[in-house]
Chains A and B, each alone.
Chain A
Amino acid sequence: MNGLAFRQAGFDVNDIVIQAKNLDLTFETNDGPIHALKGVDLEINKGDFVSFIGPSGCGKTTFLRVIAALEHPTGGEITVNGMSPDEARQNRAYGYVFQAAGLYPWRTIGGNIKLPLEIMGYSKAEQKAKVEKVLDLVDLAGFDKKFPWQLSGGMQQRASIARALAFDADILLMDEPFGALDEIVRDHLNEQLLKLWARTEKTIGFVTHSIPEAVYLSTKIVVMSPRPGQIYDVIESTLPKERPLDIRDTQEFLDIAHRVREGLRAGHAYD
């Protein structure tokens, strides 16, 4: 039975992209075990924009890294596209955007975007076409011959997003990608990211410290609390998919932001 048949039969299992059940992760350190994740249950559907918010040590980055098979859980189950995270990675299920752009200084912007394509064995012609396509997606058309130091911080981070998009993964995992940028650039990039999400229909997992950023971007906000890292609240956003920047002044936006803040406070995030 393929996906379409499932849907016609009234199932929606195929819409679940990431599913975590009772996920545990304990790091063994010299100071004793650290419970980075405890009893995490979460489902992420296709096309969702999910933000993970919480203070340092709440496990939001760890959870993203578990999805990406960069960390391995010590208990519970997780599937990505119905597979284990390791298999999903082999199948190029996701692109990962890190806190810093991390572009190779010795490669041009185009060369940096080609990096995953070279490793995955795309032909030269395909590489060229894909570089052009993703540079256009992040509004950097014509910058492929520039070196990273010739670009501003915001442009570098856009190039790193292009690199994550280059090989057509359906899932985009972003770990505080705009954390190091100033607020004006950040607003601009958030707006662009929403447009990109609408155009590409990717599923996005987004780690952030910022309540307005989480509320503005997400269809689903996961509020996490530390020690042990666990999910405190999952908020389904009622905001429309079309979101101009000034939606942040509406009552609906403020209500959601308020609930996130309440969640963070109740989860002892302000300790």
Chain B
Amino acid sequence: MMTSLVPILTVITAIMVLWYAAAIGMNAKWARDQAKRAKVELTTSELIVDTWSQDRPVLPVPHQVASELWKTTGAMALKGRAFSKRSLIFHGWITLSATLLGFVFGTGAGILLAVGIVHNKAMDMSVMPWAIASQTIPILAIAPMIIVVLNSVGIQGLVPKAFISAYLSFFPVVVGMVKGLRSPDGMQLDLLKTYSASGGETFWKLRLPSSMPYLFTALKVGMAASLVGAIVGELPTGAIRGLGARMLTGSYYGQTIQIWSALFAAAILAASLVGIISMIERRMLKRMGVKP
């Protein structure tokens, strides 16, 4: 425990030092301009304090972001207003619901495509190039089109965002599952042949269990991609709800602290979701008798 704590603390400390130092440099111009206008001279220590406590700094410092995060989550929850429109819990939930819906769609589609690719020669030849091509298009370019097209057929709100999430998250699942379903070696397949096992039995008893470690790795990548998809889906629509919307409105009004706290909320959300998948993975693999 101690051996891993020291390097982790060292890295965090280094980031903090760099961050606070960078904030001094980037926010100093504004502090000096303000002082000039007020015709006062700033001492070095006054300057530093000012750069760390501006309302709209170029680069907010960690304690400002942390206090904004607390003000818009924990503090509001304590006042019983967790789902007010000013609360990040509310915006986080909007983004989370699109993320999860898209993740479920994307993972489902990814697994089905992988099963098809592994069992069908024609699909193997035809689907994979399209799957790869789909990921070479920048999502920022395609997201507005998806929203516009779906909007024109009367689909709004959650589903278009979930669609973009699914679009991003199906790919790692396809790639991981194809690799996983093909991971049994010739000997293991021959063994089932000697039992005259059917394709279905080979799938359920050998291919699917063999693919589990690959699936979980893909799910973690897919979950993170899914969250990015939901946030990107909120950006081009002028949405007023969701973490993406918070970042957008923050940038309209120069609310850098709000942008950064939304960014951190997204990062914390992603880390928790990936953490949950890791936990399920550990339980599952333990049940499957994997050597601890």
Residues of A in contact with B (beta carbons under 8 Å apart): 68, 70, 89-90, 94-96, 98-100, 102, 104-108, 115-116, 118-120, 147-149
Contacts and interface: CB of A to CB of B under 8 A. Distances in A.
B205 interface: yes
B197 interface: yes
Interface string B188-213: 10111111110001000110010010
A89 B193 CA distance: 9
Contacts of A148: 289
Given A94-B194, A96-B194, A104 B187 contact: no
B289 A147 contact: yes
Given A99-B187, A106-B209, A89 B201 contact: no
Nearest to B188: A102
Contacts of A147: 289, 291
Contacts of B193: 70
B245 to A, nearest CB: 44
A217 to B, nearest CB: 22
Nearest to A96: B194
B38 interface: no
A98 B187 contact: yes
If over half of A's interface residues share one DSSP class (helix, strand or loop), that class is named, otherwise mixed; here it is loop
A95 B195 CA distance: 8
Interface in B242-292: 288-291
Contacts of B197: 119
Contact of A105 (B191, B195, B196, B289): B289
- Interface range for B: 10 to 19
Interface of B: 187-188, 190-197, 201, 205-206, 209, 212, 288-291
A201 B96 CA distance: 65
B195 A70 contact: no
Given A102-B188, A104-B209, A119-B205, A89 B194 contact: yes
B187 A102 contact: yes
A149 B290 CA distance: 8
Contacts of A68: 194
A267 B33 CA distance: 96
Given A70-B190, A102-B188, A116-B195, 15 more contacts: A68-B194, A70-B193, A100-B187, A102-B187, A104-B209, A105-B289, A105-B291, A106-B209, A107-B289, A115-B195, A119-B192, A119-B197, A120-B195, A148-B289, A149-B291
A106 B290 contact: yes
Contacts of A115: 195, 205
A85 to B, nearest CB: 11
A116 B197 CA distance: 9
Contacts of B188: 102
Given A70-B194, A89-B194, A100-B187, A108 B289 contact: yes
A138 to B, nearest CB: 17
Contacts of B190: 70, 96, 98
B211 to A, nearest CB: 11
Given A90-B196, A119-B201, A102 B191 contact: yes
17 contacts: A68-B194, A89-B196, A94-B194, A98-B187, A98-B190, A98-B191, A105-B290, A105-B291, A106-B209, A106-B212, A107-B289, A108-B289, A115-B205, A118-B205, A119-B192, A119-B205, A120-B195
